């Protein structure tokens, strides 16, 4: 199996990017990654695009074919890879396998989504709900946020945890996002509160009081409120992958993809043994650790998929950092902050960096590359040498974990 190195990364600003369309965002991230990799005049063998719903949101299909044309990378092979909100992670895996197999030496992987222009109420939620089971779940009106609400209630009860601890994850991620110039929200929740006070919307003694106020933080899927849930965002992120034997001409700071795992779980959530355990993550992270000959103790930094803040708590357990039921408490105790035992989502995560669906899995790996290169600026995890991601498809029925390390 050929070894695979990341030799270039690109990342647009995430957020409400009114002036750019999906193809503009994909091109911007791609060109930044190509530039970063010093492969401007090289022939790319393959391009993979991870985008969940460009057909529905942007009336474009064959995005990868269109992108190779826009980037003048013809005749590179090009395919779109889909796995719901884990489309980015799946696109990276496709790129990894293209090189590992010997079929390609130089591959561009791009993830992106353009969503914020959609103003029809409920359009995106019901579009994303096409991931749920069409007979057992969807006809009953469940959506991904409602599952997250149910999971939160089950978790709090089973492990005697507090909703404030889930809020602590949002507080941490907004604090980290404030240090990330590409983040959708670059403000701490304290900043949001101060701004609300200045605008005369109310007065609160603590962040927790602010977060319990229905006016400033309404309930979306009981018990989850607005600040427990990631936003809808526009944005794209890109990687240049290269056969590790051929990197010397391009790059002296390669980051290796040394482990990749992917696993599925039941489509119907009710059929899982325990709703608070992500079996697919346990399996896929085990695959990634085994492939890289690492353990959870070796990991210096992680990017997890906090589409809902409860997910970061659960994932931090099933990926092996904390015992079952201790993830939320660990966040509350500061163990997952930058400088803590295992920093999670220094980028701000989906909560603050934003969540342009297909972009997220790629953006997670871009953040790891910056951290492992020591280029993460104010949010740098000191001496980070090994990182791992969790990119979450459906409601945990298809999860990908990618382990990266310095060469």
- Give the nearer residue to its own copies in terms of CB position, either 52 or 369: 52
Applying the rule CB under 8 A, the residues between 93 and 112 that interact with its own copies are: 93-94, 96-98, 100-103
- Phi/psi at 273 (nearest 5 deg)? -60, -40
Site string for its own copies, 2-21 (x = CB under 8 A): x-------------------
Q: Between 179 and 244, whose beta carbon lies closer to its own copies?
A: 244
Nearer to its own copies, 21 or 374 (CB): 21
Burial of 113 (0-12, 13-18, 19+ CB in 10 A): buried
Binding characters for its own copies, 43-82, by CB under 8 A (x = yes):
---x-----xx-xx--xxxx-xxx-xxx--xxxxxxxxxx
How open is the CA angle 90-92-95, to the nearest 5 degrees?
Answer: 115
Count the residues in the chain: 407
Of the candidates 174, 175, 279, 329, which one interacts with its own copies according to CB under 8 A? 279
Smallest distance, Å, CB 59 to its own copies? 5
Backbone phi and psi for residue 298, each to the nearest 5 degrees, phi listed first: -80, -10
CA proximity to 227, closest of 152, 308, 149 = 308
**Of 52, 49, 113, 96, nearest to 76 (Cα)?**
49
Residues 130-189 that bind its own copies (CB under 8 A): 130-131, 133-134
Give the binding range for its own copies (CB under 8 A) out of 142-150, 178-186, 313-321, 394-402.
394-402
- Using the rule CB under 8 A, give the single segment among 126-134, 153-161, 343-351, 362-370 that binds its own copies: 126-134
CA gap 402, 407 in Å, rounded = 15
Rounded least distance, CB 139 to its own copies, Å: 11
Query: Taking CA 151 as the corner, what is the angle to CA 147 and CA 153, rounded to the nearest 5 degrees?
Result: 120
How far apart are CB 311 and its own copies at their closest, in Å?
17
Angle at CA of residue 110, ends 37 and 60, nearest 5°: 140
Closest by CA position to 335, among listed 321, 325, 351: 321
Choosing from 394, 401, 402, 405, the residue that interacts with its own copies (CB under 8 A) is: 394
Vertex 357, ends 93 and 96: CA angle to 5°? Answer: 10
Find out whether 24 and 1 touch, Cβ atoms under 8 Å.
Answer: no
The two beta strands, 386-389 and 398-406, are antiparallel
Alpha helix positions (H), 183-257: 189-198, 207-211
DSSP 3-state assignment of 172? helix
Q: How many residues bind its own copies (CB under 8 A)?
A: 61
Is there binding between residue 402 and its own copies (CB under 8 A)? Answer: no
CB 137 to its own copies: min, Å = 11
CB of 265 to its own copies, least distance (A): 6
Which residues ranging from 231 to 260 are in contact with its own copies (CB under 8 A)?
260
Q: Return residues touching its own copies (CB under 8 A).
A: 1-2, 23, 46, 52-53, 55-56, 59-62, 64-66, 68-70, 73-84, 90, 93-94, 96-98, 100-103, 127, 130-131, 133-134, 260, 262-268, 279-280, 283-284, 393-394, 397-398
């Amino acid at each position: 199996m050929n070894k695979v190195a990341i030799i270039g990364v690109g990342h647009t600003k995430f957020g409400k990017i009114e002036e750019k369309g999906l193809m503009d965002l994909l091109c911007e991230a791609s060109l930044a990654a190509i530039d970063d990799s010093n492969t401007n005049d090289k022939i790319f063998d393959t391009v993979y695009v991870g985008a969940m719903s460009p057909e529905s949101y942007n009336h474009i299909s064959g995005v990868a074919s269109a992108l190779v044309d826009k980037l003048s990378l013809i005749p590179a092979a090009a395919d779109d890879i889909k796995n719901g909100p884990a489309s980015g992670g799946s696109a990276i895996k496709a790129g990894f396998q293209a090189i590992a197999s010997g079929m390609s030496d130089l591959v561009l992987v791009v993830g992106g989504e353009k969503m914020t222009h959609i103003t029809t109420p409920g359009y995106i939620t019901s579009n994303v709900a096409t991931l749920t089971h069409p007979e057992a779940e969807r006809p009953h009106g469940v959506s991904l946020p409602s599952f997250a609400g149910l999971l939160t209630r089950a978790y709090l009860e089973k492990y005697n945890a507090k909703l404030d601890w889930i809020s602590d994850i949002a507080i941490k991620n907004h604090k980290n996002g404030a240090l990330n110039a590409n983040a959708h929200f670059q403000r701490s929740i304290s900043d949001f509160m101060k701004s609300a006070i200045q605008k005369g919307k109310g007065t609160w003694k603590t962040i927790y009081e602010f977060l319990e106020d229905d006016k400033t933080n309404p309930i979306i899927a009981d018990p989850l409120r607005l600040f427990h849930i990631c936003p809808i965002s526009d944005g794209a992120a890109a990687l240049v992958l290269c056969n590790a034997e051929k990197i010397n001409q391009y790059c002296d700071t390669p980051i290796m993809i040394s482990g990749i795992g992917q696993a599925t779980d039941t489509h119907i959530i009710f059929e899982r043994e325990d709703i608070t355990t992500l079996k697919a993550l346990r399996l896929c992270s085990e695959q990634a650790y085994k492939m890289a000959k690492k353990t959870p103790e070796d990991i210096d930094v992680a990017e997890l998929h906090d589409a809902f803040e409860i997910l970061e708590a659960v994932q931090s357990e099933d990926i092996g950092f904390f015992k079952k039921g201790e993830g939320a408490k660990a966040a509350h105790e500061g163990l997952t902050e930058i400088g803590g035992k295992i920093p999670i989502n220094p980028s701000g995560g989906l909560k603050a960096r934003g969540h342009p669906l297909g972009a997220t899995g790629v953006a997670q790996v871009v953040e790891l590359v910056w951290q492992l290169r020591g280029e993460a600026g104010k949010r740098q995890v000191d001496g980070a040498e090994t990182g791992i991601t969790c990119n979450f498809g459906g409601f945990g029925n298809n999860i990908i974990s990618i382990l990266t390390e310095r060469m």
